[in-house]
Amino acid sequence: LYCPGTIIQVLQTVKTDTSNLASSTWTDIGGMSQVITPTAVTSKFKVSVDVRIGASSYAAALFLRLVRTVGGSDTVIGVGAAASNRTQCFWGTEEFGRENSPPYQVRSVSTCYLDDPDTASAITYKVQWSVPQQTAYINQTGDDTDAAQYPRCSSAIMVEEVAGS
């Protein structure tokens, strides 16, 4: 038995390779998921995500969201409220930015969410993205020239099981 609020287990997946997407369809980011099996039905789960994002152009529109999968059923979690045609996400941008040369930048995007899934079954937490305009990249810039000044980064998802009451 654990005191409420005690961290029971901590698991992390680090993505070191790159990915790209140019699609408005919500798509799993490969390497940005973590499976955890609860020790108790009352446990809560703190999900922390840090994603490094680049884009092909200042006009890139992109969105990120968290998904919980239990028994093959997906549930979107930790997103903003529904509002007509607006995209529900934990982070998004209509345009990547008009400052100098967005294709040469990698941005760090983070979120933290405390989930209460009320299950004893294995849970998969994952990050999905949607890129309806231009192309977006994970762990690299949009203009990925083979030179020392172009970065290759890492992204991570961490899940902490927190004892419930």
Rounded Cα–Cα distance for residues 114 and 106 (Å): 27
Instruction: Measure the CA dihedral 111/82/44/109, to 10°.
Output: -10
Those residues whose C-beta lies under 8 Å from the C-beta of residue 41, and which sit 6 or more positions away, are 118, 119, 120
Q: How far apart are the first and last CA of the chain?
A: 10
pTM assigned to the model: 0.94
> Which two tokens mark 61?
């529109």
Q: pLDDT value at position 76?
A: 98
CA distances from 134 to 20, 75, 143 (A): 11, 27, 13
Query: What are the pLDDT digits (tens) for 58-79?
Result: 889 999 999 999 999 999 999 9
Q: Name the stretches of the chain with pLDDT < 70.
A: 98-102
Strands 91-93 and 27-36: unpaired
The per-residue pLDDT for 96 is 83
pLDDT at position 26 is 98
What is the pLDDT, as a whole number, of residue 162? 98
In this prediction, residue 92 carries a pLDDT of 92
Report pLDDT for 130.
97
pLDDT at 65: 98
CB 91 within 8 A of CB 66: no
Farthest-apart Cα atoms in the chain, separation: 55
DSSP label of 102 = G
Gap between the Cα atoms of 18 and 125, Å rounded: 20
